Structure 1
Amino acid sequence: MNTDDAEGPLEIVQRVCAIDIAKADLVACVRVPHDTDQGKRVQEIREFTTLTASLLRLADWLRSQQVELVAMEATSSYWKPVFYLLEAEGFTCWLLNAKHVKNVPGRPKTDRLDAVWLAKVVERGMCRPSLVQPAPIRQLRDLTRYRRTLVRDRSREKQRLEKLLEDAQIKLSSVIEDLCGVSGRQMLEALINGERNPSVLAQMARGRMRSKIPVLEEALRGHFQEHHAFLTRMMLDRIDEIDTKITQVAARIEELIMPFASQAEQLDEITGVGVISARELIAEIGVNMAAFPTAAHLVSWAKFAPIDKNSGGKKRGGSTGKGNPWLAATLGEVVAAVSHTDSFLGERYRRLSKRRGKSRAIVAVGNSVLTIIWHLLSDPQARFHDLGSGFYQSRINHNRQERTLIRQLERLTGRKVTLTDLAHGGASA
């Protein structure tokens, strides 16, 4: 044990523990008030492994020290078992962004010194905790992320299948949108089973594909061999296996979303947000908006708010920074879906993409979607109301638009433009 002088009014947390975590072990520093000398602090440092039994001993030690707050850096995924176990043991835990608690450059760096520094930063209130969702949301998030991973794996396997068929000069993907649809799958199964006649294979088309039979015959005229048949069989089985897993994960998500069914219905009302996207948004954002005082806080946390960089009279293009990639992927899909709709968000995307480009339009509309989400989740009674694609047109200042168009026409023609009423013969130049 050792003591040092405290800084008086800066102390906020009386009994704090800071943990420096690695994969196999950790260093914990506990700082508490001195028993007899008022105004001084006492710190003790101990090392533990990250095995369960050792973590339970850590919990017992913290309990004996009457620790009020436990803080740790977000080191890879190593923080999770420590955080979750101590949380289950009844401790208030903070997860800190390593950028916010970085030690002073030039100082010695060891695990013990890092733990001491972190403890001092936390006890003085010089940092804020990162958002860690409650266990039900975390479980839902694990499932939605795994489902998205499986969907990506299935897409990659379909791409491999398409490349394999191209290698065999089977040009099905140029005619059929989905190789694994009813028509495509039946043709592929026939190819695997030894059928090579393009006419016979083309006759397996179903529905609207029947109108493309002549084109299909040419697309199926390749050099598909036993080698290709073997690999195609393996790839189709892999796709079927992934489909089965996606169905199982979706059923589990259906169970875990039940406590948040009303919030999911609220988000589903937003243009471009479907059932799957609504569940993914809840899994990533949560349903308790108390963590975000305003909609702007949520947008900033998601990194959908460009950072203004202005120094020395020069304005540099600000990026949004790196946020949650899973949330960004969902919002990207929502924006892609809404961009083709006759709605306020769709019109907003089209207006912005013309002036600023598609990438910035996606960020801006994603910003709007997050703002809508915050207001819906903040009020259980709130319902989404689309402002309509004519919203911008209804707010245009017609006099200002008239002046702008006149100036543009004058620059274009090099002549003075005056306007007269239509009853008097229209405009003249």
Structure 2
Amino acid sequence: MEEDGGQGLYVERIAALDLGKAVLEACVRLPHPSKPGRRVQEVRTYPTRTAQLLELADWLRCNQVTTVVMESTSDYWKGVYFLLEAEGFDCQVANAREVKNVPGRAKTDKADAVWLAKVAERGMFRPSLVHPEPIRRLRDFTRYRRSLVRDRSREKQRVEKLLEDAQIKLSSVISDIFGVSGRAMLNALAAGQRDPKALADLARASMRGKIAVLREALTGFFTDHHAVLLAMMLDNIDRLTAQITALEKQIEELVAPFCRQVEQLAEVPGVGRIGAAELIAEIGVDMTRFSTAAHLVSWAKFAPAVHESAGTKKQKRRPKGNPWLAATLGNAAGALTRSHTFLGARYRRIARRRGKGKAMVAVGNSMLTIAWHLLSDPTATFHDLGADYYETRINPERRARNLAAALQAVTGQKIVIHNSKAIIIETAAA
């Protein structure tokens, strides 16, 4: 053990880990056995295999260490974190940006472990959010489901590209070529059918009224090599669809303990049960981890960023947060763009002035705020403020003056507002 001084400690017995793929450096810092106010430290190297990690756990117990801190290095921290957590240690993950070593000091794995231990024992960092095991399991399934949905979408795009290559203009006539009618035609094409009349006759329901147009759209030069590729693509789509269905059943089982929270979030327009499960998987159900709704919004990187220096505000790109959470909020917001709801009105109102991108972020901000309030109160229910929320809170006189000024700028005429209702238009003097 090496002797080291240290003052103002928050944690007396601390361990810090600098992680790598194959090995890790572990630094333990303890009170000096005979000199009050002094510290001793020891650094050891351990492989990251399970047997050696259990030896690390025994060494930490022998030193009466209960708190273990590690950096969030790639995915290497997860196995170590989960094993030590199962062994009864209080594990904390530090954001590498917050515990970066000061310039001018040696940069080695051992030095990084010692520095992290010194930072952690003084409470100079905020532990990152790590969800409990039930939420982590749910998150694995929801994220993999989203990955498969993206793969299926890419495969469908490949099918449409293949049809265009063969001069088959099916997507110009049918909005969803993977619906009942479209899929029947695709299966027939893959099976060897080339007659446009026979293919068009496979239309169902309302699509029967487009048979003449379908015959023209299905007239191309679809060859055997197109058929082989199309059959493979359709098989991939069916396989992915079956896997997505199986995942959704697993998600329903995993989210069953949180059925009340799912019902609360599913009431929010655009979310639905799958979206609610994805939200729970990403932000959890324990909102005590976030002091206010603003803290949750800031953690998700959906808060407005203000960068000011010397009295000048500078524009800066919004920092990237959780991409999975952003995708869930983006899908929910995209479903509301034309809806007659408060969130839909909020999107359209901001999109007119600031653009669609900022409107999406603003609606995501509102959704996270709603989610925080719903999950914080078991008895809370969602109540839509209505699409006319903003209109009912606009001062009629001010709105009339603004509209009159805009019209006057366009027409060049003088417009006078009388009693907020009557509009007297006078031709401006030449």
CA contact (8 A) 2:400 2:417 kept: no
User: What is the deviation of 1:416?
Assistant: 5.2
- 1:114-153 equivalences under 5 Å are 114-153=112-151
Match of 1:187 in 2: 185
1:51 maps to amino acid? R
Q: Secondary structure at 1:101's aligned position in 2?
A: coil
Counterpart secondary structure, 1:80: helix
Q: Indicate if the aligned counterparts of 1:353 and 1:361 stay in contact, CA closer than 8 A.
A: yes
Matched, 1:5 2:2: no
Q: CA deviation at 1:415?
A: 5.9
How far apart in 2 are the matches of 1:85 and 1:196? 59
The structural deviation recorded for 1:315 is: 1.6
Find the counterpart in structure 1 of residue 200 from structure 2.
202
TM-score normalised by L of structure 2: 0.96
Could you tell me which residue of structure 1 aligns to residue 269 of structure 2? 271
Alpha-carbon distance between aligned partners in 1 of 2:373 and 2:208, rounded to the nearest angstrom: 49
1:226 aligns with 2:209: no
Name the CA shift for 1:12/1:200 in 2 (closer, same or farther; >3 Å): same
CA, structure 1 residues 56+208, in 2 after alignment: closer, same or farther (shift >3 Å)? same
Equivalence for 2:57: 59
Deviation at 1:162, TM superposition (A): 1.3
Alignment of 1:334-413 (within 5 A): 334-412=332-410
Alpha-carbon separation, structure 2, partners of 1:379 and 1:156 = 40
C-alpha contact (below 8 Å) 1:306/1:318 kept by paired residues: no
| Contact 2:414–2:425 under 8 Å retained in 1 | no
Shift of 1:334: 0.8
C-alpha separation in 2, matches of 1:397 and 1:124: 54
User: Does 2:409 correspond to 1:427?
Assistant: no
Partner of 2:314 in structure 1? 316
- 1:100 is matched with 98
Of 385-394 and 131-140, the range deviating more from structure 2: 385-394
Is the CA contact (8 Å cut-off) linking 1:418 and 1:428 kept in structure 2?
Answer: yes
Letter in structure 1 aligned against 2:344 = G
Q: What is the TM-score normalised by the length of structure 1?
A: 0.96
Q: Distance in 1 between matches of 2:384 and 2:253?
A: 30
Query: Residue 296 of structure 2 contacts residue 368 of structure 2 at CA under 8 Å; is this kept in 1?
Result: yes
How many percent of aligned residue pairs carry the same amino acid? 60
In 2 relative to 1, CA 403–422 (structure 1 residues): closer, same or farther, beyond 3 Å? closer
After superposition, where does 1:297-336 map in structure 2 within 5 Å? 297-336=295-334
Cα distance in 2, alignment partners of residues 17 and 388 from structure 1: 53
Is the contact between residue 175 and residue 216 of structure 1 (CA under 8 Å) also seen in structure 2? Answer: yes
2:413/2:425 contact within 8 Å kept: no
Cα displacement (A) at 1:411: 4.5
Q: Mind listing any 5+ residue stretches in structure 1 that lack a counterpart? A: none
Matched-pair contact (CA < 8 Å) for 1:306–1:319 = no
SS in 2 for 1:321: coil
Match of 2:108 in 1: 110
Residues in 1 aligned to 2:311 and 2:419: alpha-carbon distance in whole angstroms: 47
RMSD: 1.6
Pair 14,192 (structure 1): closer, same or farther in 2 beyond 3 Å: same
2:424 partner letter? A
Separation in structure 1 between the aligned mates of residue 201 and residue 139 of structure 2, nearest angstrom: 45
Q: Distance in 2 between matches of 1:232 and 1:411?
A: 58
**1:70-90: CA deviation from partner (whole Å, max 9, x where unpaired):** 000000000000000000111
After superposition, give the CA deviation of every residue in 1:308-348 in whole Å (9 maximum; x if it has no partner). 01113322123330100000000001111112111111111
Instruction: Tell me by how many angstroms 1:426 deviates.
Output: 5.5
Report the count of equivalent residues.
426
Identify the residue that residue 39 of structure 1 maps to in structure 2: 37
Q: Distance in 1 between matches of 2:3 and 2:119?
A: 16
Cα distance in 2, alignment partners of residues 314 and 258 from structure 1: 51
In 1, Cα distance between the equivalents of 2:267 and 2:9? 47
Look up the match of 1:287: 285
- 1:412 CA drift (Å): 4.7
